[in-house]
Amino acid sequence: MDCILKLPGDVMDALRLPPDEVEAELHKELALALYQRGVLSSGKACALAGVTRWEFEELLEQRRIRRHYTEKNLEEDIEYARSRQ
């Protein structure tokens, strides 16, 4: 299911972004906000933002947004990596 977000014209006019960058920037902002709140996983946030995992990591660093990565995630990643050897 797709969702269309409608913004009032005066809000669109107030955005200090080049018109051709508005959609991409709003996708990034929404992805970062939802990830920060724990509503969206990092993988889905990357997809929403339209960026690679590394680009998303850079955005998190720039905004000083804490990553949601637990010891359990680390253990799962290590186990996965070992199973691929």
* Residues 25-39 pLDDT 10s: 999 999 999 999 999
Number of domains, the chain: 1
The verdict on residue 1 lying in a domain is no
pLDDT confidence band for 47 (50 / 70 / 90)? very high
The verdict on residue 77 lying in a domain is yes
The verdict on residue 22 lying in a domain is yes
The verdict on residue 10 lying in a domain is no
9: which residues sit within 8 A by CB, 6+ positions away? none
Q: For residue 53, what are the domain limits?
A: 17-83
To 10 degrees, the CA torsion angle through 76, 79, 84, 85?
150
| Nearest CA among 32, 24, 30 for reference residue 66 | 32
Dist CA 19 CA 32 (whole Å): 21
The verdict on residue 8 lying in a domain is no
The verdict on residue 11 lying in a domain is no
| pLDDT average, residue stretch 25-54 | 94
The verdict on residue 4 lying in a domain is no
Say what the pTM is.
0.78
Dist CA 15 CA 5 (whole Å): 15
pLDDT at 56: 93
